[in-house]
Structure 1
Amino acid sequence: MVDSKVQLASSSRIAHYFVDESGDGVLFNAKGQVLVGQPGGAMGHFIMGLLEADDPVALSLDLEQLRADLKADPYFKNVPSFQPERGKTAVAFHAKDDLPEVRREVFKLLLRHSVKFYAEVRDMRAVLSYVRERNGRNGTYRYHPNELYDSSVARLFKNRLHQYESCRVCYAVRGSSDRTKSFADSLVLARDRFAKQWDKQVTTAIEVTAAQPVQQAGLQAVDYMLWALQRHYARQESRFLEMVWDKVSLIHAVDETDKAPYGVYYSKTKPLVGAALKNKVGI
């Protein structure tokens, strides 16, 4: 039985992880019609992102100070997103809502901190193909976006949980439901997969908490990294990702399977430049 604290291996350091997603994983509308690729439909890619922060307290303090400085700047005085009642930049940084001038300052701040970004990228066309193929084999199978979310969490953490004596994982709340147990179960799956592959017991202590970005600055930081990566895929606009590439440790393009069935891993030694996800693999 697993609750919000999971007994999972090995270093003396405590890891601080912040997790969020970009895209909702929705394939069909209420009538069962496909949304992927349709005007106003689902985003082309679902991305699960993880930010590891060596000093989350310092990161939080710096982001709070930056927001205070920007709010005090007359340049932003009458900007709607800086009005507290709007619940946007005035209370928390959110790349989609923030002005370009604000984004630049947040990205510059992130570059000053010791953080590492990891991501699992799914092409929703490939996910749709997988779901259709599985439905062809099993007529009772019904896809749910939580399936994609949970499997992406498991992939994301497979090689992360054995490195520390203790890990504190904070994930961004999705909707109104509490999915902490499901999230923790995905970590157990990641642990078990690693243990099976390497025949190694993993005993790291894991603490899982859910929070709103306004409550955890680390979630605001991972949102910015996700926005930069999604911008690359959605608009082929890579300058934001290139700006913060020094903070990227690993991007797993799961469905880019031209050369290998497990996809492609992008890193500092293999930058992500103009990549297009193709083909398909199972969820």
Structure 2
Amino acid sequence: MKKKKLMDFHRFLDEAGDTTFYGKGKKNIIGTNGVSNVFILGMIKVKDPLDEVREKINSLQNKISLDEFYRVPSVIKKNNKSGYYLHATDDIPEIRKEMFDLIKTIDCSFEAVVGRKSIERYETKHKGKEEYFYADLLSHLLKNKLSKHEKLVMHISERGKSTKNHNLELAFLKAKQRFSKSNATSNIKTKVVFNVNYPTKDPLLNLADYFCWTIQRVFEKGETRYYNYLKGQIKLVIDLYDLKKYEKWGNYYDNKNNPLTSKNKISPLKH
């Protein structure tokens, strides 16, 4: 049998978008200025030695923090606070290009679950709690990972109540239930360990962040150039609540037979 390597047991998770549903007076503000239409949770598997990839990203971050050309407010602010780290939303286009080019040199695969925001679903299925919304998405990322490895370490970017241990365990329970429902003859053998961390502490979370941002641009803007650039490394994207395309796995997008296009942009809801 092929000997398992350290990176086989580790996954790195981050998100894009927000879990805001209401404004003042409990008004529906989904999709309004500064509020996303979707919340995305993504997971990356790195197939190169982890420390080598961390060093690659750290080297780029150090270069940016010292480069006079990049003395812009977003970089200066981070340098003064906790040290510069890559974050796609904050980074200027020139920095993004450097990071995207670096990503292309890394042997990795990415998958994501996209959660369309709906007030009705949020109040019923998720009981009006953002942590339940998060747990639902995470369970779908986990559900097909429970029979291959004896152990998986999930390195997750910290997100308040959503990444508290009891909520992560809730997601794991949901994942096991979903696995058992669709795999009646298979046994769950994978122990999942959660390691909540900060993007400032582990550059591999910054890598996951860039992939999540790439998917967000498709669903929020209909912008596919970043996705097309990284498409070979994006294994699967599930538009989880796209009920119109549920039949025949139409809401599952891979990079070969059913890639994302500008048509995946979410149309604004009428409030």
TM over 0.5: yes
Asked if residue 219 in structure 1 is aligned to residue 201 in structure 2, the reply is no
User: 2:195 maps to what in 1?
Assistant: 209
Q: Note the C-alpha offset of 1:145.
A: 1.3
Distance 1:30-1:66 versus aligned 2 partners, 3 A rule: same
User: 2:251 maps to what in 1?
Assistant: 264
Q: Which amino acid aligns with 1:117?
A: F
Q: How much is the aligned-residue C-alpha RMSD, in angstroms?
A: 2.5
Distance 1:232-1:112 versus aligned 2 partners, 3 A rule: same
User: 1:103 maps to what in 2?
Assistant: 96
Structure-2 separation of matches of 1:249 and 1:229: 12
Distance 1:119-1:156 versus aligned 2 partners, 3 A rule: same
User: 2:262 maps to what in 1?
Assistant: 274
**Which of 105, 110, 114 pairs up with 2:107?**
114
Structure-1 separation of matches of 2:161 and 2:188: 32
Q: Matched residue of 1:143: which SS? A: coil
Structure-1 separation of matches of 2:171 and 2:163: 14
Structure-2 separation of matches of 1:277 and 1:71: 34
Structure-2 separation of matches of 1:111 and 1:272: 19
What aligned pairs does 1:1-283 form with structure 2 within 5 A after superposition?
A: 12=4, 14-29=8-23, 31-40=25-34, 42-54=35-47, 55-76=49-70, 78-83=71-76, 84-87=79-82, 90-124=83-117, 127-131=118-122, 134=124, 142-175=127-160, 179-199=164-184, 200-260=186-246, 264-269=251-256, 270-276=258-264
Give CA-to-partner distance per residue, 1:195-217, whole Å, 9 cap, x none.
33212111223221111101111
TM-score for the superposition, normalised by structure 2: 0.85
Structure ranking higher in helix proportion: 2
Q: Matched residue of 2:156: which SS? A: strand
Structure-1 separation of matches of 2:169 and 2:238: 21
Q: Which amino acid aligns with 1:95?
A: A
Q: Which amino acid aligns with 1:274?
A: S
Structure-1 separation of matches of 2:17 and 2:156: 15
Residue ranges of structure 2 left out of the alignment (5+ in a row): none
Are the equivalent residues in 1 in contact too, given 2:135–2:162 (CA < 8 A)?
A: no
Are the equivalent residues in 2 in contact too, given 1:255–1:277 (CA < 8 A)?
A: no
Would you say how many aligned residue pairs link Structure 1 and Structure 2? 257
Q: Which amino acid aligns with 2:199?
A: P
Are the equivalent residues in 1 in contact too, given 2:37–2:266 (CA < 8 A)?
A: no
Structure-2 separation of matches of 1:67 and 1:131: 38
Distance 1:167-1:131 versus aligned 2 partners, 3 A rule: closer
Q: Which amino acid aligns with 1:268?
A: N
Are the equivalent residues in 2 in contact too, given 1:123–1:277 (CA < 8 A)?
A: no
Are the equivalent residues in 2 in contact too, given 1:94–1:223 (CA < 8 A)?
A: yes
Structure-1 separation of matches of 2:23 and 2:65: 40
Are the equivalent residues in 2 in contact too, given 1:12–1:165 (CA < 8 A)?
A: no
User: 1:6 maps to what in 2?
Assistant: none
Q: Note the C-alpha offset of 1:131.
A: 4.3
Structure-2 separation of matches of 1:44 and 1:204: 34
Q: Matched residue of 1:202: which SS? A: coil
Q: Note the C-alpha offset of 1:180.
A: 2.2
Q: Which amino acid aligns with 2:263?
A: A
Structure-2 separation of matches of 1:108 and 1:160: 29
Q: Which amino acid aligns with 1:57?
A: D
Q: Which amino acid aligns with 1:249?
A: K
> 235-244 vs 181-190, which deviates more?
181-190
Structure-1 separation of matches of 2:104 and 2:54: 14
Residue ranges of structure 1 left out of the alignment (5+ in a row): 1-10, 136-140
Structure-1 separation of matches of 2:161 and 2:38: 23
Q: What is the percent sequence identity of the aligned residues?
A: 23
Q: Matched residue of 1:244: which SS? A: helix
